Structure 1
Amino acid sequence: MSRTPPLGDNRGLWQAVMAAAAGRCQCRGTCGSSHDKDGGRCHAVHGIYQTKHGRSRVSLLAAPADPAALLLPAHKAAALPKRELAAWCRHCHDAARRAAAKAQQATAPAAEPDALFDL
């Protein structure tokens, strides 16, 4: 799986999304965490060193705010307007994306197996 940010090299759009988010991950539990200790919103702030989830500097990415849209191909996510984007830390983004994929699989109709012979 590619780790390329969904918006590619659109730095101006990324900066606008980060400004609207005040440089903080905008996840409010979509990742599966309640973020209770942080007032219901993820504590990750861009550029700040964190010890949780990898002991490194936080690098936020701009990606679709709607969890279902996190499953869009990169070229479609890059075409979304700013109002449909949110700031995500890697941990919340990846967890929310996995949850969206799991939910999508659970609601997808079961495919009938191809029969080799008509009975």
Structure 2
Amino acid sequence: MTGRIPPLAGAELWQAVMRAAAGRCQCRGACGKSHAKSGGRCDLVHGGYVRHSGGGTVHLIAAPADPAALLLPPHKVAALPRSALVAWCGPCFDHARTTARRACEQAATDEPDALFGT
């Protein structure tokens, strides 16, 4: 785990997720990108460099594997088991969460209004 500095809280869980991910973002397109150049999986590694999205050092986070679960409140995410978590880079996490939020908002607007429905 050289070069990987764990977060202050939940370090053991974060390290377990990073070990399972081999220190690489596990996004396979939930962010809207195909990641075709890297075999269908994001190629950003913890401690590496992001050339896009403003640049800078990559800091992977452990977050829900299911993009819909990215919308859960923090206390519910903290209660998820290790098996429900994967490693996300910042750009993939942000885009996947935005996509999930938009899908949720779209589903809510597609439902008929109970007060004014027929």
Q: Same fold (TM over 0.5)?
A: yes
Is 1:19 the equivalent of 2:19?
yes
Partner of 1:75: 75
Partner of 2:53: 53
C-alpha displacement at 1:50, in angstroms? 2.6
Q: Secondary structure at the match of 1:106?
A: helix
Q: Which runs of 4+ in 1 moved over 3 A?
A: 110-114
Q: Percent identity?
A: 56
> Scaled by the length of structure 1, what TM-score is found?
0.84
- Any conservation in 2 of the 1:63–1:88 contact (CA below 8 Å)? yes
Cα-Cα RMSD:
1.8
Is 1:93 the equivalent of 2:96?
no
1-side partners of 2:70 and 2:37: how far apart? 25
One-letter identity of the residue aligned with 2:71: L
Unpaired runs of 5+ residues, structure 1, are 1-6, 115-119
C-alpha displacement at 1:113, in angstroms? 6.9
How many residue pairs match? The answer is 108
Deviations 1:7-57 (A, max 9, x none): 981111001000000000000000000001111000110001232222211
One-letter identity of the residue aligned with 1:52: H
Unpaired runs of 5+ residues, structure 2, are 1-6
